[in-house]
Copies of this chain bind each other. A is one copy, B any other.
Amino acid sequence: MNARSGPPHDAGQVAAVLAEISLFRVLGESGIQSTARAGLARRYRSGQTIFHQGDPGESLYVLLDGLVKVVFTTEHGDEIVLNMLGRGDTFGEMALLDGSPRSASIVTVRPAWVFALPRARLLDLMREHPGLADEFLRLLGRMVRRLTDQAADLAFLDLRGRLAKLLLQLADKHGQSDGVVDLPGLTQSDLAALIGASRPAVNRALQSLVARRLIAVKGRTITLLDVAALRKRGGL
């Protein structure tokens, strides 16, 4: 992996980001400081794989900055993107539950700054701060709900519906406040893998939404023009 370690004064910056995350907020000021020193922050360039599906997993990761995708690959090489993660999101939780290997790969879509906290350190923290365990369970609850929704969407929404819903979610999580989804590095192939469709079909679906004035596309920037109609199309 061509990753560079951050400079030694990172700990303070790491703590600043951790303090924004509800999972760690329960640790309090001093707990966050010691957490930041208990792990290691690294930077990754765009397109790098932080870990591979199947690797042994011994750390929880926090995305301090940047954008990554969670990629699940079948034995036949088909890929589905389970989620896009941004600043403050965590990944690699699964490996902490049981000792099992990584269930998906993490690939940077934009340069990313990542904090890795070893399993043992996290378990120590949970022993000291029971509130952290509660927060962690809440996190897992959200994960299960999201996966359930995703399965239902695949079963019941057509391609345009899934795309409309995805765009709303991306705008909400990663977009500017005015409904502009500009995610450099996120290709139409990625969108396709997020909704379980082929790349040409996604392109056509986008054109179709443009024709109906629900969105506007300029280069790789997508602007949501009619949120109400998109919500309806996405079954919301």
Residues on A facing B (Cβ under 8 Å): 72, 74-76, 78, 80, 82, 94, 96-98, 100, 103-104, 133, 137-138, 140-145, 147-148, 150-152, 154-156, 196, 235-236
Contact = CB atoms under 8 A, between A and B. Distances in A.
Total copies of the chain: 2
B196 A97 contact: no
Nearest to A75: B235
Given A74-B156, A98-B137, 10 more contacts: A74-B152, A75-B236, A78-B155, A80-B151, A82-B148, A100-B141, A103-B148, A137-B140, A144-B144, A150-B151
Nearest to A147: B147
Closest 7 CB pairs of A and B: A155-B196, A97-B141, A147-B147, A154-B154, A97-B137, A98-B138, A98-B141
A80 B153 CA distance: 10
B76 A235 contact: yes
Contacts of A151: 72, 80, 82, 147, 150-151, 154, 196
A143 B148 CA distance: 10
A103 B235 contact: no
A138 B100 CA distance: 10
A152 B151 CA distance: 9
A234 to B, nearest CB: 11
B76 A148 contact: no
A144 B103 contact: yes
A82 B137 CA distance: 21
A97 B147 contact: no
A104 B144 CA distance: 11
A140 B144 CA distance: 8
Contacts of A75: 235-236
